[in-house]
């Protein structure tokens, strides 16, 4: 794994001195580091600052699915990393409605949340929702369009039925247009989350997520073709973290250390997927498919890691990529203009958590 993505146990001896005789567990670096010991990774002063933030409610993108920016905060809590930095974190399952997550954060009902990507942030901000983006995990669209193998050219979809989840993802629409498809000639219907509607012939194409529906169909032995927006030059992102602007202004150390613990847990879960997914399963209702969710996590971390730009650290968000997506959304008629990114994106927060490309833990 690239060193920019690996959590650093800086000053492990100092941490052990802080922890005294408390229990310890294996950290993401393979060493024995204290976990769940209140304040073991921060100074007494920083601990007080983080405790002053009160309960930090975090809303996931979709339930407790093992996706990037969902599984890692779950693991950070289970591993005791939030306790290590004196944060009281309440994890709440999201419904998958990105607008709802943004509204909860803007209202202060939630302080931090996962949202699908930068494009969703820009759309919500353009609609008057006051949130800021502080982190982003994947520099690639997570959406995909599935067809049966007999479709060899997207123009063949004209005159057929496309299944989507309530709205055609803008990256999928852009891909179709780029491929010369007259989208008006494709009948769109709203379908549920059962991807077998495609292989049963109820629809001839189906939108979904690279880390979900294709895995379900493959597990059933079904052969499909995936059509991905990035192959057509369509920009996108995945797993963006948004915060309430007032909360960030008043409790920046709490936001920093939330992300610090999350990033540390991300590295841990890359090596211990089964354990982290089991933690997510314990929060979910009956019927949680652990095997499928391990695949979800492994698929998404590959997307995240393979799309990380040279010279950037895991979780880093930058105005340039956000602007690219914003200009694309304007071109697609999704927003009237790119919002003032200086007010929307906080590019310096995540890089400040690293030293020489490695996550700083504990906080000096």
What residues have CB less than 8 Å from 167, skipping those under 6 apart? none
Kindly state whether residues 38 and 134 are assigned to the same domain.
yes
Residue 170 half-sphere exposure, CB side, CA atoms within 13 Å? 21
CA–CA separation, 239 and 113 (whole Å): 10
Instruction: Name residues whose C-beta falls within 8 Å of residue 27's C-beta, 6 or more positions apart in sequence.
Output: 7, 9, 33, 35, 264, 268
Asked whether residue 123 falls in the same domain as residue 241, the answer is: yes
| Boundary (domain end) residue, out of 232, 262, 279 | 232
Inter-CA distances, 228 with 28, 103, 166, 234, Å: 32, 29, 19, 9
Look-up of token digits 């049963």: 200
Q: Domain boundary residue among 232, 253, 280?
A: 232
Are residues 135 and 245 part of one domain?
yes
pLDDT at site 23: 30
pLDDT score, position 274: 98
Q: Which residues of the chain have pLDDT under 50?
A: 1-34
**Number of domain units in the chain:** 2
What pLDDT is recorded for position 2? 43
Q: What CATH number has the domain bearing residue 326? A: 3.40.190.10
Which two structure tokens, joined as six digits, stand for 358? 């490695």
Query: Do 162 and 99 reside in the same domain of the chain?
Result: no
Please tell me whether residue 82 adopts helix, strand or coil conformation: helix
pLDDT, position 35: 59
> Alpha-carbon distance 231 to 252, whole Å?
38
Residues 28 and 163 occupy one common structural domain: no
Q: Is there a single domain that holds both residue 108 and residue 243?
A: yes
Q: Are residues 29 and 177 in the same domain?
A: no
Instruction: Tell me, yes or no, whether 228 and 281 share the same domain.
Output: no
Q: Please indicate, yes or no, whether residues 56 and 130 belong to a single structural domain of this protein.
A: yes
Which of 232, 261, 278 finishes a domain?
232
- Indicate whether 21 and 112 sit together in one domain: yes
Q: Structure pTM?
A: 0.87
**In a 10 Å sphere around its CB, with 0-12 CB exposed, 13-18 middle and 19+ buried, how is residue 161 labelled?**
middle
DSSP per residue over 98-131, as a string?
HHHHHHHHHHTSSSEEEES-HHHHHHHHHTT---
Domain, as residue range, for 183: 143-232
Do 264 and 294 sit in the same domain of this protein?
yes
């Amino acid at each position: 794994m690239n060193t920019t993505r690996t959590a650093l146990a800086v000053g492990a001896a100092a941490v052990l001195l802080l922890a005294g005789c408390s229990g310890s567990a294996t950290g993401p670096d393979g060493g024995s580091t204290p976990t769940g010991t209140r304040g073991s990774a921060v100074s007494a002063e920083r601990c007080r600052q983080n405790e002053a933030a009160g309960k930090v409610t975090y809303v996931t993108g979709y339930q407790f699915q093992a996706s990037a920016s969902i599984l890692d905060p779950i693991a950070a809590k289970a591993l005791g990393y939030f306790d290590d930095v004196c944060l009281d974190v309440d994890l709440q399952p999201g419904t998958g409605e990105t607008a709802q997550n943004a509204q909860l954060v803007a209202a202060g009902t939630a302080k931090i949340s996962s949202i699908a990507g930068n494009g969703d942030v820009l759309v919500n901000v353009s609609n008057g929702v006051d949130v800021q983006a502080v982190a982003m995990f994947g520099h690639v669209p997570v959406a995909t369009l599935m067809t049966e193998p007999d479709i060899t050219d997207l123009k063949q979809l004209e005159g057929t039925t496309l299944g989507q989840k309530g709205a055609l993802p803008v990256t999928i629409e852009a891909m179709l247009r780029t491929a010369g498809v007259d989208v008006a000639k494709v009948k769109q219907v709203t379908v549920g989350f059962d991807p077998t509607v495609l292989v049963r012939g109820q629809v001839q194409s189906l939108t979904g997520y690279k880390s979900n529906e294709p895995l379900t169909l493959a597990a059933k032995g079904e052969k499909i073709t995936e059509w991905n927006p990035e192959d057509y030059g369509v920009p996108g992102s995945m797993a963006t973290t948004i915060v309430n602007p007032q909360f960030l202004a008043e409790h920046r150390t709490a936001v920093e250390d939330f992300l610090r613990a999350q990033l540390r847990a991300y590295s841990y879960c890359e090596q211990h997927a089964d354990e982290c997914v089991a933690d997510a399963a314990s929060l979910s209702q009956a019927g949680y498919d652990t095997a499928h969710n391990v695949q979800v996590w492994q698929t998404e971390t590959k997307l995240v890691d393979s799309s990380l730009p040279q010279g950037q650290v895991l979780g880093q968000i930058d105005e340039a990529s956000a602007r690219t997506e914003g200009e694309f959304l304007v071109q697609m008629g999704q927003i009237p203009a790119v919002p003032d990114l200086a007010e929307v994106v906080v590019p310096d927060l995540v890089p400040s958590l690293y030293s020489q490309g490695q996550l700083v833990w504990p906080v000096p």
